[in-house]
Copies of this chain bind each other. A is one copy, B any other.
């Protein structure tokens, strides 16, 4: 059948020979160049199918200077690898990215940047051509990594706005709007004495949620909202709730900046004999696992994480296609998920 004994995986010359055309033509067909004779194109495609040929990505990259891949950089504080990945939030972001990129045939390289060394390595990894651009997901808003990528002129997109202004594209959530939705819900239920459990003050997202909530409450004629700060953990939510209860024993509405703290609040409310949502209405934020696990199930503000992750990927792809394009941002609206707690 064939003129020569096939050795190893087939290459373009094998295809060309088999189809009776030149390497150039075979290459054209494979890359979808339209100006090719029908018959020849068909012959090439047949050869490809029969041999199971797939182009060698290294050879391709070498000639056209593109890696055909992108890096998904998870940037955490020093040495906090496992914690980062154990957080479903990052898992969902990763899932959204992988899912979307999979549809265009690209599989991201996961790189962990949790030390200065790792950060430079990450930059070099893409700088040297292992990836055409980077998706950055940080645990901390004041991450130095975005700056590094920008400085190298590497196409990059952030998940969540950076704490300090950096000329870089990003996607983010309208945290303030989400908080306002919570306020609206509480007010609609008729809550008169509403309090809030805020997140860490140094986190832009936590700030936005607090500010958004206060502003919305002010619009509803409640300019003063008692607040206790937590750090997004269950225990801090419990502590904050206890503090708030001491300050305002007759409170009837709680907005917590995340679900875990809301779960903590639910617990102390229950221990104090307050019925939720009858005595006190509680709303969380994120629609994460704890929201489902809580009893009563938590009414919460959800973020379209996967959608945001997909958009982030799309933006990066565009940026890679046209590196001179200016940074852009896209802000997504959260939505209220009504369950039993409010």
Contacts and interface: CB of A to CB of B under 8 A. Distances in A.
B267 A58 contact: no
Contacts of A127: 9, 54
Interface string A81-104: 110111110111011101100100
A293 interface: yes
Nearest to A126: B107
Contacts of A102: 111-112, 118, 121
Nearest to A89: B86
B306 A82 contact: yes
B86 A98 contact: no
Interface string A231-251: 000100000000000000000
A95 B292 CA distance: 25
Number of identical protomers: 2
A228 B107 CA distance: 41
Nearest to A53: B128
A2 B313 CA distance: 40
A20 interface: no
A124 interface: yes
A95 B86 contact: yes
A6 interface: no
Interface stretch (A59-67, A169-177, A203-211, A333-341): A59-67
Contact of A62 (B62, B81, B90, B108): B62
Interface residues of A, number: 56
A296 interface: no
A110 B121 CA distance: 19
A289 interface: yes
Given A107-B71, A111-B102, A125-B107, A59 B62 contact: yes
B82 A99 contact: yes
A127 B59 CA distance: 15
Tell which of A57, A58, A91, A105 has the most Cβ of chain B within 10 Å: A58
A46 interface: no
Contacts of A90: 91
Interface in A276-297: 289-290, 292-293, 295
Contacts of A22: none
A98 B125 CA distance: 14
A56 B87 CA distance: 35
Contact of A58 (B58, B84, B108, B112): B58
A107 B105 contact: no
A55 interface: yes
Given A58-B129, A290-B293, A293-B234, A112 B85 contact: no
Contacts of A86: 88, 91-92, 95, 289
Contacts of A234: 292-293
A125 B129 CA distance: 18
A263 interface: yes
B82 A95 contact: yes
Given A57-B129, A58-B129, A234-B292, 16 more contacts: A54-B127, A56-B129, A58-B67, A69-B109, A69-B130, A71-B107, A82-B96, A82-B306, A85-B91, A85-B92, A86-B91, A86-B92, A91-B91, A95-B112, A98-B112, A109-B110
